[in-house]
Amino acid sequence: MPSVPTTSLDLGDADVVADPYPHFARERSHHEVAWHEPSGTWLTFSHAATGAVLRDRRLGRIWRDREPAAYLEPFNLLHRNQMMENEPPQHTRLRRAVASAFNRGHVERLRPRVQSLATELLDGVDPVSFDVIGEYAEPLPVLVIAELIGLSGADVPVLRSWSQAIVRMYEPEPSTKVVDAAVTAATEFADHVREHLDRRRTEPADDLTTDLLAAGLSDDELVAAVVLLLNAGHEASVNVFGNGLVGLLRHGHVPADPQGTDLPVVVEEMLRFDSALQLFERTATAPVELGGVVVEEGQQVAALLGAANRDPSVFADPDEFDPARRPNPHLAFGAGVHFCLGAPLARMELTESLAALFTAYPDLQLAGEPRSRGTFVLRGYAEVQVSGTVPGPGSSGGSRRHRPSAP
């Protein structure tokens, strides 16, 4: 290969996982795109290069079965048959089957249910101290997507467990333990979905599964579609909420009016500030000029979304959490043909869950150091303890929960 910009950045290094943004800034100061010898992949560090990767149709999602293929077949089956790992026309056919469930009109019809679930979950927490991830941010979007698909709310804990085991495979160099757990989870998840599909064939209902059964997909495509919807339908929301809430609280930006019209702007900054999805890969199907280098046919390029969202050429003071940032052209949901199908639902869930939380607890604050999941690609927190109580003078503390008056 002719002389090109190179980087040895270790994406699995503990310092990078803990806080990748200073490392991205250092790389960006030298190059927009660099060859990463350890992985044999191009990495992008600028907003322009990352956006180009996401939009250029010559850079596609081309699935390759993980090896050993026979052992990993349960994991591979869920991916080779899903829309996120395919390009048009296959991608178009698979995406069309579920697109109507995520249009803005349908999402708006879900808003009252999201509001109701948020209230129910907050009614069950201890305001003195509670884990806002495990007790609120995790169960809410899983309940929403499970109901949309027609699964029982009682399935939420196991669905979340299967999802977390599968997505850990997306990290750099997963361990044998992670691989084994993903294979087990993929097998059990697929079996559970097949049983659900069989029930809906004889007992149709007003849910997305029944709609999918009429969409002309194969059995394996149906299973892959439902698993993708369950995984992608909540992973981003959980991690964006946790990452964004921590950034918001650390920077002292508690919403003054949690029911106000500015809250969606705060949500956009939560999406930008600490990206839940840090990396999305593409493969060149033809030579592509990108940020001053040429990505040859067959080479992979990893779009670093978190690096793009901290690019100072696009975002003023990018390392500051600015709840009034406008415009905010972040790439948290991707771009181009693979732009996140569930973005309208995620935005609505984030807005409503944030509004409910700060309406109930206007003095919310961190109650200890948040505990990271310890992953790079899907960045998030395993636990974030918060307190909704503020001790007054001569007081040992008391709940400041606010319940809106009945209309």
The residue among 208, 191, 193 whose CA lies nearest residue 97 is 208
338 to 95, 213, 260, 280, 341: CA distances (angstroms): 10, 23, 31, 10, 8
Question: Which one of the listed residues 349, 352, 356, 387 is annotated catalytic?
Answer: 349
CA distances from 260 to 166, 264, 278, 357 (A): 38, 9, 30, 14
CA–centroid distance for 143 within its chain:
16
Out of 118, 146, 186, 232, which one is annotated catalytic?
232
Q: Is 340 a catalytic residue?
A: yes
237 as an active site residue: the answer is yes
Point out the catalytic residue in the list 32, 87, 235, 269.
235
- Identify which of 185, 154, 147 has the alpha carbon closest to the alpha carbon of residue 169: 185
349 is catalytic: yes
Catalytic residue among 308, 340, 355, 360: 340
Residue 22 backbone phi and psi in degrees, to 5:
-65, -35
Full 3-state SS string of the chain = CCCCCEECCCCCCHHHHHCCHHHHHHHHCCCCEEEECCCCEEEECCHHHHHHHHHCCCEECCCCCCCCCCCCHHHHHHHHCCHHHCCCCHHHHHHHHHHHHHCHHHHHHHHHHHHHHHHHHHHCCCCCCEECHHHHHCHHHHHHHHHHHCCCHHHHHHHHHHHHHHHHHHCCCCCHHHHHHHHHHHHHHHHHHHHHHHHHHHCCCCCHHHHHHCCCCCHHHHHHHHHHHHHHHHHHHHHHHHHHHHHHHHCCCCCCCCCCCCHHHHHHHHHHHCCCECEEEEEECCCEEECCEEECCCCEEEEEHHHHCCCCCCCCCCCCCCCCCCCCCCCCCCCHHHCCCCHHHHHHHHHHHHHHHHHHCCCCEECCCCEECCCCCECCEEECEEECECCCCCCCCCECCCCCCCC
Of 46, 237, 372, 387, which one is the catalytic site residue?
Answer: 237
* Tokens standing for residue 254: 């508690």
| Active site members | 232, 235, 237, 340, 349
